């Protein structure tokens, strides 16, 4: 585990944006998108629409991932 964020580009509603997440979060994000049978850009766009404007996209993605795995472990 490196712990260093890795910047990657995503396309949200036709616009490119960069998001910095640790490798472990990127992998978890890809795994969730795959399990939901959706593209990672589409999942990021959903999170973007639902997030509080005061919260950065990277933070919103991390919280989404955390909530996903919390929900999965409670069932």
Condensed to tens digits (0 to 9), the pLDDT of residues 48-70 reads: 999 999 999 999 999 999 999 99
- From first CA to last CA, the distance across the chain in angstroms is 28
Q: What are phi and psi of 2, to 5 degrees?
A: -85, -35
Residue 41, domain extent? 5-73
Q: What is the DSSP letter of 22?
A: E
Mean pLDDT taken over the chain: 94
Q: How many domains does the chain have?
A: 1
Contact 41, 27 (CB under 8 A): no
Q: Average of pLDDT values for 35-40?
A: 97
3-state DSSP assignment of residue 14: coil
């Amino acid at each position: 585990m490196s712990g260093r964020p890795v910047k990657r580009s995503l396309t949200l509603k036709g616009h490119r944006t960069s998001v910095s997440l640790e490798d472990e979060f990127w992998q978890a994000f890809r795994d969730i998108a795959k399990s939901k049978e959706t593209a990672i850009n589409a999942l990021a766009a959903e999170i973007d629409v639902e997030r509080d404007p005061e919260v950065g996209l990277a933070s919103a993605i991390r919280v989404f991932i955390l909530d996903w795995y919390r929900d999965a472990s409670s069932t």
